[in-house]
Amino acid sequence: MSFSDLPLLNAFLNTTSAILLLIGHQSIKKGRRDSHKKYMIAAFVTSSLFLISYLLYHYVHGSQHFEGQGLAKPVYFLLLGTHTVLAAAIVPMVLITLGRGLKGEFSRHRKIAKWTYPIWLYVSVTGVIIYLMLYQIFPGGKVV
């Protein structure tokens, strides 16, 4: 594997995180607290690996220029903008939510988890969409 393969790895890690989040959410809705805990910790580990890989790739390669035209361009930048803002916000939210859950502070955990879960899921899913638009649908952008 080379550094140029990291965007694909990042998309895989984001997809995996989204799936783990969905399963973890369903687990708690069904009252399976132990299963929920395992899936959410796995989502945290997967997202952490994504963040390390993402930062490493961009440190080495810089940013990729988007080559799409027409309606694709504002759609891409809308997704990128909301994804970026929420990705920055989700890191402390995940840490607080996870910490409260692991400490058994379930009432406080639920209060923030109702916000953390949909934002985290959105960030994971839009990360994959951004990857597809940048590297698969409209490839050929310049590294800047």
Kindly state the DSSP code that residue 137 receives in the 8-state scheme.
I
Report the candidate in 117, 138, 143 with the shortest Cα–Cα distance to residue 18: 117
In this predicted model, what pLDDT tens digit does every residue of 16-58 receive, in sequence order? 999 999 999 999 999 999 999 999 999 999 999 999 999 999 8
Q: Give the per-residue pLDDT at 13.
A: 97
Q: Give the per-residue pLDDT at 144.
A: 44
The distance from CA 80 to its chain's CA centroid, rounded to whole angstroms, is: 12
DSSP reduced 3-state for 143 = strand
| pTM metric for this prediction | 0.92
What are the two backbone dihedrals, phi and then psi, of residue 116, each rounded to the nearest 5 degrees?
A: -65, -45
The matching CATH number, chosen from 1.20.140.10, 3.40.50.11540, 1.20.120.80, 3.20.20.10, for 3-137 is: 1.20.120.80
pLDDT lower than 50: segments of the chain:
144
Check: CB of residue 94 under 8 Å from CB of residue 24.
no
Domain ranges across the chain:
3-137
DSSP reduced 3-state for 64 = strand
What are the two backbone dihedrals, phi and then psi, of residue 21, each rounded to the nearest 5 degrees?
A: -65, -45
Q: Give the per-residue pLDDT at 87.
A: 97
What is d(CA 76, CA 80) in angstroms, rounded to the nearest whole number?
6
